[in-house]
Structure formats: structure tokens, C-alpha cells
Chains A and B, each alone.
Chain A
Amino acid sequence: MQDTPPRTSTGPSRRRFLARAAALGCSAAASPLITPVTFAALPTDRRLVVIVLRGAMDGLDVLRPAGDPMLARHRTTLSGGEDAPALTDFHRMHPALVDLLPLWRAGELSFAQAVSTPYRDRRSHFDGQDLLENGGGAADGALTPGRDGWLNRVLALMPGATARSAFAVGRENLLLLSGTADTSQWAPDADLDLSPQARLLLSKVYAEDPLFARAAETAFELADLTDPGETMTANAARRARALAAFAAQQLRADARIAAFSITGWDTHIRQHQSLPRALGELQAAILTLKSELGAVWGDTAVLCLTEFGRTVRENGNRGTDHGTGGIAVFAGGALRGGAVHGAWPGLASGDLYQDRDLMPLADVRSYAAWAMRGLFGLERSDLEGQVFPGLDMGDDPRLIA
């Protein structure tokens, strides 16, 4: 990039203004474009992180029902082995998550088994993910009339929520947080580089188009706030850590809710190679959240949700295909952890859904709903009526301490 040399006659106003003003010693507040905003924190200390696991995580390989004798019959190369740490008399955990074992022992990790969204039979990633994020109850994947995200509806129920209370982290537009309540979005590696005059003119031009005005406002504001020391390139290997670190940075301040996604779960072939890569990212994200959140980790719950499970039987390529029942993973100091929640349907042929998938015994939304109730004290009637329309939350699994 070529810089225009500063002209002494016009001084700082002509100087190229890095939007990361702190780096140049300019005060962001000096810019007439930035409305001073007071970021009133929500009246809660609890923090929530939702990680969407895109591609359908194979629950049976991550939380292995090692005590079920049928597992080895369905899976000849996958989900076996003694190197998988035992969590309970019945369950072992995939060895790629071994660094989460201390969390399990400390009561900061738990699972729900045999869960699914209400989505059935089509097994389309895209519809499945949309329904997971939308929170609706239609088996055909039809979204609720608002076509918004359930986490956005949670936000709408929280008094005092502002755009800075919830962050979608990363470059994608998360349906989970989309809707009428204002939220923020930022990627850890975004940058802005404008002169003050250009910024002024640009704001005027953007004011004519609400979509651009909203995006630009957040872009300007956040570019000023981001600590240049923490910029990261969107390197795939470091991506999960960067997303988690940025989420933690916001959660340490005024944000109470953050969400991002991790991909790579669609393990149709050679699952013993592909799944550990994705699990490595998930593990790195959880451990980064824990270390970066510091004392705040004790108030935090992390929900890791996926669109559906995978076939009980291994396919011809040492992988698994799209299925139904799966698991949800929970982490955080706010949990009553060290537990596997939910009943076990069994793996005998007659126990399976359509003779191919794990039979789901619980709606994964009920766990999310109880987490919202435990964390933020939301009313059951709101959760069953607005956040997850038509859901019967059932008994409290006591997910949150």
C-alpha cells in the first residue's frame, strides 16, 4: 500500500487515518463520526457461547457408548479402541478430545445423548442447520414465520440488551443471531483504512441504504476498538482459536452472548482422519475460551450444537452418512458438569430410527431452553412460546449449576 506523505500545512487532518486510531495515537473520540455510545451491560454476569457444528457431528464417535455391545458390530474400524478415555461405566470420549478430560473431572464438561432437532428424514445439511438455528419445531424443516434465530429471540427477552450484548463472530451471517434484536458481528481479522474526510463522506453515502449503514457503523466502531496486537489472519489452523479469543475478548467486556461456527463434521470418508481435525478445532476453541475468559469462565456456559447425527453403521468408506440422533456438548464453569444427560435408546436393529440412525429420545432444544432458564432466568412460558415455539421442555436436566 502506498501512503500519501503527510503535508505539514494541513497537519493531522490530511494524515492517513488508520481506523485503528490507537495505533497512531489519535483518539477515536476526536472523530466527529463516532457517536459516543455507552455500552450498558445486561443485568447478568452469566455468559453464553453457542458453537454451531456445521456438517453433522457423529455423536457416536465423539461420545462412544462403549458399554453397548452392538457398537462394535455396527462399526468395525470406527469408535473402538482402548485409547479413548472412559468418562462413565458406559461412555468413552474420542481421544482427540483428551485435553478436555480435566474439564470433565472438574465438572465443566457434559453431554446430552440421543438428541436431535425436530427435523426428520430429508437429512439436508442446509435445512437441518437452518432449523437448528431458527429453533422451530417442524419435522420438514420449515422455519418459524419470522425466519429469525432463536438466540436473537432470547436477546429480545432480556431487558437492557443492546447491539453489543451479543456478538456473531466470524465472516458468516449467523441465522442463529439474526432477527429484530440488534446484535454485533465482527471477524477477528477485519481492518479499515480511511481518511477522516473519506469516512465522513462514506457515512453520508451509507446513510441512504440501511443495510450498508448498519454494517458500516459496526465496522467503524469495532475497528477502533480492536487491539491491533490481537489481529489474526484467517489461517484455517488458527481460526477456531482466533474466533474463541475474539469472543472471549467481547465477553470479558459488555457482551454476554457470543456465537460462531466450526465446520468439517461431514465425515463421509476416512472419519478416523477427518473427525480428529474438527474435534481439534472444537477442543482448541473451548480451551481458548477457558483461558481467555479467566475468572469469567466460572459464569460461562458453552453449548455446542449440530444439525443431526450420523448413521449408526459405518459406510463403505470408513465414514458415516447423514443420520438423525446425535449428541450436544456442553462446557463451562457455570455447568453442573461431569454428566451424560438423557436416556439411551440402544443400538440393536429394532432400536434404530428407520433401521439406520440413532433413535432420538429428546429434543435438543429442551437442553438449550433449560440452559437459557438456568443462565438467564428466562420464564418457561417464554421459552416454550417464543424462543422455541411448541417445545415441551419436560423435566429440568439441571444442566446449569
Chain B
Amino acid sequence: MTTETQAIAAIRFGTGLGADQPPDGPGALIAQFSRRDPALAEQAPDLAARATMLVEHDAARALRKEQTQAGERAVKAADRKLRRTTTWDMRMHFARAVGSPLGFRERLAAFWTDHFTVEATGRMRTLLVPDLIRTAIRPHVGGRFGDMLADTVRHPAMLHYLNQNRSVGPNSRAGQRRGLGLNENLAREVLELHTLGVEGAYIQADVLGLAQLFTGMTLRERGFHFAPNWAEPGAETVLGRSYGGAEPAAWPEIRAALDDLAVHPDTARHLATKLIVHFVGAPAAPDYVAKIARAYLNAGGRLVPAYRALLEDDRAWNPTLAKAKTPFDFIVSGLRALKVDAGLLSRAKRRDLNGQILGPMAAMGQPLMRPAGPDGWPEDPRAWITPAGLAARVDWAGRSARRWGAETDPREFLQAALGPLAPPLLSRAAGGSETRAEGVALVLAAPAFNRR
């Protein structure tokens, strides 16, 4: 029998109850970080391979301009190659979340991906965002926040998304020669969203200083490149500290500024607040925030002690489910409850993936990897449980129950999916359905399954 603690651990802090053994408390959740992330062992195309695909695609399109027929064939071939990779990325995105017994770790990978939102729109970012998750987020989920910050800020997907590749120091060689100038976008979001938070102690002059410090970071052949000719000369001041000197600042100085920002007390409070609001719910009590922020700062910006402080608090284990699952979490936990084989997902046809998962997820209000802005997906349950959003959840529940749950007894399904958190009324309603599939759909569509 699943205990209440196990159910909360799996539902609130993980990807839902499934075929694997649910964690039985803070210790078991924290233990998920003692192993290396299995996702890092996958044979994924690396950044260089992805960049090559994009460069080849550019070349094919250039060829099409000159030689229509040969060019057309080349573009089609390049398209196919890109599509094979993005299909693999999407399959694995779901297969990993559904199949992994390390649900807390998976949830945190999604949490930090959202913290460092890059919209996967357009050919380049569709191909590069999965690499950002794999190389800049996942390796640091159980490590240091400063390392994650540094790796995401310099990742080509982020440089492209927040226009850093277009920012030139006005007094740099390139700026003077070609009349180019600054673009503040990345610097502003690093302060407002990634580190200090909008409440943080920074002013416009700090945005400007960080934007000047960031100049030189750009893209070449779709990879990170530091262009000294673009870098603003002289030292730059951010939050009262000076970076760089006589020589234009380069990556080591940028890294130093990011390291300082990562362990700033405002950053600690911002991250602590976000963790509470995401996992436990708003509003974040000041003493709870302070406790997590302290654990984080005392550990020099390491994340696992912050997670431990989050988990080792009675408020984390309140049996009232206050939050609404995002559409992604809803679908992943639905597939886990339905015992859909992760191996099946990792081999799914693109068409099925679109029809059965990606399309419905967009209809629920969350197109995969494409939030509406750099502040990521909303946390407020009211943003998700809208008439249209709920209609799409009901629709998916019905289709998925017919597809994967038609042989399942709804009462057993309810027990397996929610354990002791199953409300008695839902138990009666599930038993009163006309067909097994409808009973299973009812459980999936119910508030108790959509909350966490």
C-alpha cells in the first residue's frame, strides 16, 4: 500500500505514481541526486553535430537559390535530417520523464529549464533548446547554480533568444567602425529573471553595465564565440563591483560577474521563492524563503542543500493539493498512471506524438518548449484551469483512457494513481461509470489528479 508520504512525494515532488517504487520522504528524494543523471548517458547528437546540420541547411538553401532542382533536393535532405533529430528530441523528452524512477530530478530539470526559458521557435532554436537542457541544465540540477547560470548564459540558444549575438559595444572596434550598438535584452533578463529577480537591488545602470560586460559574447557557425572586437573597452560596474580593466573584458570576467550574481542574497531569495511557489504553492512564507535561501548561501550556491531545506519542512507535506499540474506534468503523470511503456514512447512515430501528446498539450495551453516569453510558464493554477484549458484536459483524458485504459478497472486505477489521496466521492464516481474507459477518463480529468 502506498502511504500518504509516498503519494505526496511522488505527486507533488515527482512525476506521479507509476510502475516504480515511490520515494518515502525527503531522504529518498534527496538520494536521487547521489547518482549521475541517466539522461546524460544517452547517445544524443551533440552541439557540434546540431550546428553542422544548421550550417548544412543554410548551404542547401543557398544552393536552391542558384540551382533550383539540385537545391530543392538538398533542402529536402537537410530538412529530413533536422526532423529526425527533433523527433528524437521530443520522443526522449517524454520517454525520459515517463520512464525515469527519479521523478524529483526530472521535475527539477523542468523547473530549471523554465527558469532559463528559451522559446524553441524557429529552425535554430528548435534544434538547440534540447541541447541547452542536456548540456547546460541537466548536469547542474544537483550541482551549483552558478555553473548552470554560466552554461545557460553562454549557450547558443540563449545568446540567440535574448539577442546577445546582436549586441556590440558602441566603443569597441566593430561598434566604432560599423556604427553598431548595445542590445540590453540578455543582461536585463539575467538580472530580472535568472538571478536577482525583479524585486532585486539593481537599477538601470546595472543593466547597462552588465550589457556592456556581455559584449563580445556572440555566435559563430552556430556555436559560442567570443569576439574581442565587439567587446566594450574598459571596466564595467555591476552592483558596485568592477569587472575587467585596461583590456576589454572576456569570458573569465563575465564568468566572475555571473558567479557573484549567483550567490547574491537577492538571488538566493528569488530562487527560494520560486522553488516554494513551484512545488508547494503561493504565497511563499518569508521564514520558509529565508530558511532555503540561508541553506543555499551557506552551501556556497549548491542546490541540493536548498532542495533539502525545501523538503524538510511540514508545509511541504501538507496533504491539501494546492497547485495545478502543468499540461506537461498532467500528461506525463497520466501516461505513468496508465503504465504506458516509456520504450514505446521512445519509438513513437512523429504523427502519433503530434496527435496524442504535442497537439493536446498545446490545446491545454502549453505548446512544448514554447512559452510566450522569457518569464516561462505560469505558476498560478487559475492560469491553467481555464474553461478552454480544462476542456482540452477532459478531451485528452477521454482519448487516452480509450487508447490505454480500456482494460483497466477504474477503482484500481484510482488507487494506483492517487493512493490515499483519492477522494471518496471520486472513488464512488469512478465505480459508477458506464464503461471502464470512462471511469479511467473520469479519474484523469478529476481535480485530484490535476492538482499536486
Contact = CB atoms under 8 A, between A and B. Distances in A.
A350 interface: no
Nearest to A208: B425
Contact of B388 (A186, A205, A316): A186
A205 B382 contact: no
Interface stretch (B10-18, B40-48, B177-185): B177-185
B387 A212 contact: no
B395 A209 contact: no
B386 A195 contact: no
Interface stretch (A83-91, A120-128, A367-375, A377-385): A120-128
Point out which of A54, A191, A202 has the most chain B C-beta atoms below 10 A from its C-beta: A202
Q: Which of B163, B380, B382, B447 has the most CB of A within 10 A?
A: B447
Contacts of B167: 316-317
Interface in B147-181: 163, 166-168, 170, 175, 179-181
A193 interface: yes
Interface residues of B, number: 59
A215 B390 contact: yes
Contact of A126 (B170, B180, B375, B435): B375
Q: Chain A interface secondary structure, helix, strand, loop or mixed?
A: loop
A356 B413 CA distance: 61
A313 B206 CA distance: 20
A121 B204 contact: yes
Contact of B442 (A4, A202, A218): A202
Interface residues of A, number: 56
B22 to A, nearest CB: 24
A1 interface: yes
Contacts of B372: 54, 172, 263
Interface stretch (B60-68, B78-86, B238-246, B426-434): B426-434
Contact of A192 (B198, B324, B395, B402): B395
Contacts of B170: 316
Contact of B390 (A54, A172, A216): A216
Nearest to B390: A215
A219 B445 contact: no
Given A198-B433, A219-B388, A205 B426 contact: yes
Given A126-B375, A197-B433, A209 B386 contact: no
Contacts of B434: 14, 195, 197-198
B433 A212 contact: no
A211 B183 contact: no
A222 B198 CA distance: 38
Interface of A: 1-2, 4, 14, 54-55, 121-127, 171-173, 178, 184-187, 189-195, 197-198, 201-202, 204-206, 208-209, 211-212, 215-216, 218-219, 222-223, 234, 263, 268-269, 315-317, 319, 321-322, 354
23 contacts: A55-B373, A171-B389, A173-B378, A184-B387, A186-B388, A190-B392, A191-B392, A193-B395, A195-B434, A197-B438, A198-B433, A201-B433, A201-B438, A205-B425, A216-B387, A219-B387, A268-B163, A269-B166, A315-B183, A316-B168, A316-B180, A321-B184, A322-B188
